[in-house]
Amino acid sequence: MKKISGNVLVIDDDPDILQTARVVLRPQFGKVETESNPQKIPFLLNHNKYDVILLDMNFRAGETSGSEGLSWLQTIMEKEPNQNVIMMTAYGQIKLAVEAMKIGACDFVVKPWENEKLLATVYAAINLSKSRKEVAQLKSTQAKLSQVLSQPSTEIVGESDSLREVFTTVEKVAATDASVLILGENGTGKELAAKAIHNQSPRVERVFIKVDLGAIPETLFESELFGHVKGAFTDAKEDRAGRFEVASGGTLFLDEVANLSLPLQAKLLSVLQNREIFRVGSNQAIPIDIRLVCATNASLQELVSEKKFREDLLYRLNTVILKMPPLRERRDDIPLLAKHFVGVYGQKYRKPDIALAKEAYPYLQKYQWPGNVRELQHAIERAVIMSDDSVLRKTDFILGDFSTSAEKPKSVNLDEVEKQAIQEAINKNRGNMSKAAKELGLGRTTLYRKIQKYGL
């Protein structure tokens, strides 16, 4: 019989039985433990995971009722409902063995046993244990994947020179397994770039898993990323795979990596160096195979100089650096993006015929977009929702300061003052022209005439 990995525990008060079990089982299975005192069962279950437990029916001299064995079986099943237990019984206790199987035992062997029969029974139980673990792993993975697959996905839209440089870098790096660090302001499309790398890589048929490190409390970091076993902490009611385990074979995207504390950076570095994880509450190493992509809007180099980010971790993350340009540096892409988002939200909100007026395009291109593509996306979504017309005009958009500097110079020119007052009133009232006109002390018709005059 071929030797297989497996952790076996034999519990019997007869030292001869334990010795025989060691001699027969150890050459065939990875690890075999023996124990004569059943009182240690709770301790053993708390500190080890067993593929199979062989449990005697009686533990006191002269005792033949089997009640003690059934009681300990009940204890095991309450603590580990999926535990595979093989009962060891004498010839006259077959009915008790059947009762044990009703409680949860997976099989039984009769003492004195035939060695081949014992090996075959344990071998079958270990295979059953592995199958159960695979099913549990698939369920855990499926739960994670359902969250990922429910999230909307899109592609990077644009044709500007700065974006073409991004496309070129993505194409070159995607074919490799090199770690990529994506830099850029909030809303520039760092996640889309990470997905583009995955979609053009040999791992495209496998999963893309995103982790927002800025949204994970430090106390849940290890559980979320590395998983946990049942009982590892108060709310750990079942075994659960972490993001690294789920992403194995595919791409793992760690967003906002600069938010990690130094202790968590050390844990992440250890995983990346050893390419294995340990679930919380387990000492069993699980190998991982992931393509790592990280993103941040911070300067990791500055954080390194300030001793807030580990330099050795940075070198693990930035084999290739990809910089996403802000929207103000790719204004030629704004019309394409605007048209794209109008199409998306027109379908979503059942306004398929809605479109942008020609006047709206240069208006949108003049704005600085401090929130980048994400701000443009939200502005257009709101405009589509609120508009009663099939054409979106510039007055349908609520935008902030159009100036290129943080400090807008004060003007004493009456026209400039009036223009600014009108713009501020429109913004304050979120595009409601009636409210804006009332606040300015103007009639609605007069307000529209002044909007046309000042090109607002």
**CATH assignment at residue 97:** 3.40.50.2300
Is the residue at 143 inside a domain?
A: no
What is the percentage of the chain residues whose pLDDT exceeds 70?
A: 89
Peptide bond into 112 cis (omega under 30): yes
Most confident of 76-80, 130-134, 197-201, 210-214: 197-201
Is the residue at 167 inside a domain?
A: yes
Beta-bridge partners for 293: 180, 253
Please answer whether residues 347 and 377 qualify as being in contact, where contact means their C-beta atoms are separated by less than 8 angstroms: no
Across 14-18, 229-233, 303-307, least confident range:
229-233
Q: Closest Cα to residue 291, out of 233, 218, 206, 225?
A: 206
Residues 317 and 343 in one domain: no
Across 326-330, 359-363, 396-400, least confident range:
396-400
Buried b (16+ CB within 10 A) or exposed e, 217-231: eeeebbbbbbbbbbe
Buried b (16+ CB within 10 A) or exposed e, 55-91: bbbbbeeeeeebebbbebbeebeeebeebbbbbbbbe
pLDDT digits (tens, 9 = 90+) for 309-319: 999 999 999 99
Q: Looking only at Cα atoms, what is the longest distance across the chain?
A: 109
Residues 199 and 321 in one domain: yes
The whole-model pTM stands at 0.60
> What Rg value do the Cα atoms of the chain yield, rounded?
33
Q: Which amino acid is at 137?
A: Q
| Domain finish residue from 301, 325, 349 | 325
Residues 321 and 336 in one domain: no
Residues 343 and 397 in one domain: yes
What whole-number distance in Å separates Cα of residue 118 and Cα of residue 122?
6
**Counting beta carbons within 10 angstroms of the beta carbon of residue 32, is it exposed (0 to 12), middle (13 to 18) or buried (19 or more)?**
buried
What whole-number distance in Å separates Cα of residue 43 and Cα of residue 41?
5
Q: Is the pLDDT of residue 408 over 80?
A: no
User: What separation, in Å, do the N-terminal and C-terminal C-alpha atoms of the chain show?
Assistant: 84
Residues 189 and 310 in one domain: yes
pLDDT digits (tens, 9 = 90+) for 210-234: 999 888 888 888 899 999 988 888 8
Residues 211 and 168 in one domain: yes
Residues 382 and 442 in one domain: yes
Q: For position 144, what pLDDT does the model report?
A: 52
- Residues 130-152: what's their mean pLDDT? 59
- State how many domains the chain has: 3
Q: For position 407, what pLDDT does the model report?
A: 41
The domain that holds 247 is classified in CATH as 3.40.50.300
Is the residue at 179 inside a domain?
A: yes
What whole-number distance in Å separates Cα of residue 406 and Cα of residue 403?
7
Is the residue at 155 inside a domain?
A: no
Phi, then psi, of 384 in degrees rounded to 5: -65, -40
pLDDT digits (tens, 9 = 90+) for 99-126: 888 899 998 888 888 898 899 999 889 8
- What is the SS3 assignment for 413? coil
Is the residue at 154 inside a domain?
A: no
**Hey, CA dihedral for 399, 403, 406, 408, is it positive or negative?**
negative
431 or 247: which carries more pLDDT confidence? 247
Please answer whether residues 286 and 247 qualify as being in contact, where contact means their C-beta atoms are separated by less than 8 angstroms: no
Q: Is the pLDDT of residue 405 over 50?
A: no
Is the residue at 146 inside a domain?
A: no
* Per-residue pLDDT band at 308 (split at 50, 70, 90): very high
Q: For position 398, what pLDDT does the model report?
A: 83
What whole-number distance in Å separates Cα of residue 136 and Cα of residue 207?
18
What whole-number distance in Å separates Cα of residue 447 and Cα of residue 244?
58
* Per-residue pLDDT band at 432 (split at 50, 70, 90): confident
Residues 67 and 177 in one domain: no
- What is the SS3 assignment for 40? helix
Is the residue at 362 inside a domain?
A: yes
Residues 336 and 317 in one domain: no
Residues 297 and 338 in one domain: no
Beta-bridge partners for 253: 210, 293
| Domain finish residue from 325, 345, 376 | 325
Mean pLDDT of the chain: 86
Please answer whether residues 229 and 281 qualify as being in contact, where contact means their C-beta atoms are separated by less than 8 angstroms: yes
Please answer whether residues 89 and 64 qualify as being in contact, where contact means their C-beta atoms are separated by less than 8 angstroms: no
The domain that holds 391 is classified in CATH as 1.10.8.60
Residues 339 and 261 in one domain: no
Residues 318 and 207 in one domain: yes
Is the residue at 249 inside a domain?
A: yes
What whole-number distance in Å separates Cα of residue 118 and Cα of residue 124?
10
Q: Closest Cα to residue 213, out of 246, 261, 180?
A: 261
| Domain finish residue from 295, 325, 355 | 325
Please give the residue range of the domain that contains residue 389. Answer: 331-454
Q: Which amino acid is at 438?
A: K
* Per-residue pLDDT band at 283 (split at 50, 70, 90): confident
pLDDT digits (tens, 9 = 90+) for 56-71: 988 876 676 788 889 9
Please answer whether residues 244 and 272 qualify as being in contact, where contact means their C-beta atoms are separated by less than 8 angstroms: no
